[in-house]
Structure 1
Amino acid sequence: MSKSLIVYFSHNKENYFSGNIVNLEKGNVQVIAETLSTMIDADIYQIKEVDAYPFDYHECTKRASEELKNNTRPQILDPLESIDEYDTIYLGYLNWWSTMPTIVMTFLESYDFTNKHIYPICSHEGSGMGRSESDLKKLCPNSILHKGLSIHGSHVDGCRQQLERGLGGK
């Protein structure tokens, strides 16, 4: 029996949203993941960092840039013991500096994704998937990587139809 997992990293606090910096009570990717969880039968897991990202948008993006430049792998708070029971992974993340946040890379490097179906879902404010799909191929070379779905962050409240279309009726 095939089992699915929704894994996501989301950032509430200050975010770039529709041309402005605003405080989001719930991060865009969390909204996407929660919407998806109402559509499919899947377990859900939120990637959380041990060392919280700054509240301030500019401080947060500076840290994210430094982590990417230095190939840093932030530590995950309460990591999953295993993903062995899952065949399908829906991976939600935001676009930071043209790819996924390095904490998502930490997650991907922590497990064996051999023969697992990965459906990337990326929230952005105009930069789409960036190079995250090619980075995913490098990080999970033995997985079955499906075409990514990019969702404009300021439109996540109406993302159900986009998820239905983008995931092919999953």
Structure 2
Amino acid sequence: MSNVLVAYFSASGVTKRVAENIADENGYDLFEIKPVEPYTAADLDYMDKKSRSTIEMNDREFRPPIVESCDVSQYDTVVIGFPVWWYTAPTIINTFIESVDLSGKTIKAFCTSGGTGIDGCVNDLKNAYPELNFAKGMRFMGNVSAAKEWIENE
């Protein structure tokens, strides 16, 4: 068992592949944050103001239910991965954060995005959870060769 957990949410499979690569290449443990109700292509249509993801992201207090949580007590570092939705982390990330005890942990967020960086996402999470220790985040677009140094040294 490693001292690093990579927890991720992936709606389309992109973030899943990145998280699996980070975990596999570095010997980290992996946990998938799964919604009780999986997202469909229609749910993810950000152009549709009535799509599920649009409705959820317009209500930042909404917490989509997740299938299960996990025990993070044995980890010093928890890496949380997600796609960027509306320039920030999807609200399901808040569901996960609120379902585990991250106090005293180093939290490193990564995103998968073709255009939006991670800094705004991390700032939003820091503002929502000022008691937690969010470190510098990272955006990945496929190549995860920099992950180990970022996770273990920064």
Would the TM-score normalized by the shorter structure come out above 0.5?
yes
TM-score (norm 1): 0.77
Distance 2:33 2:19 in 1: 12
Shift of 1:113: 1.3
Which of structure 1's runs of 4+ aligned residues deviate more than 4 A? Answer: none
Q: Does 1:40 align with 2:26?
A: yes
> What does residue 63 of structure 2 align with?
73
Q: Any residues of structure 2 matched to 1:1-170 within 5 Å, and which?
A: 3-12=3-12, 27-56=13-42, 57-58=44-45, 62-70=51-59, 71-80=61-70, 82-129=71-118, 131-152=120-141, 156=142, 159-164=143-148, 166-167=150-151
- Contact in 2 for aligned 1:95/1:123 (Cα 8 Å): yes
Cα offsets for 1:63-120 (capped at 9, x unmatched): 222112122100001222x221211101111100011111111001112211101111
Bigger drift between 47-56 and 132-141 goes to 132-141
What is the RMSD of the two structures over their aligned residues, measured on CA atoms?
A: 2.4
Equivalenced residue count is 150
Bigger drift between 58-67 and 91-100 goes to 58-67
Distance 1:133 1:86 in 2: 20
Shift of 1:143: 2.7
C-alpha spacing 1:88/1:167, structure 2 compared with 1 (3 Å)? closer
Return 5+ residue gaps in structure 1 as ranges. 13-26
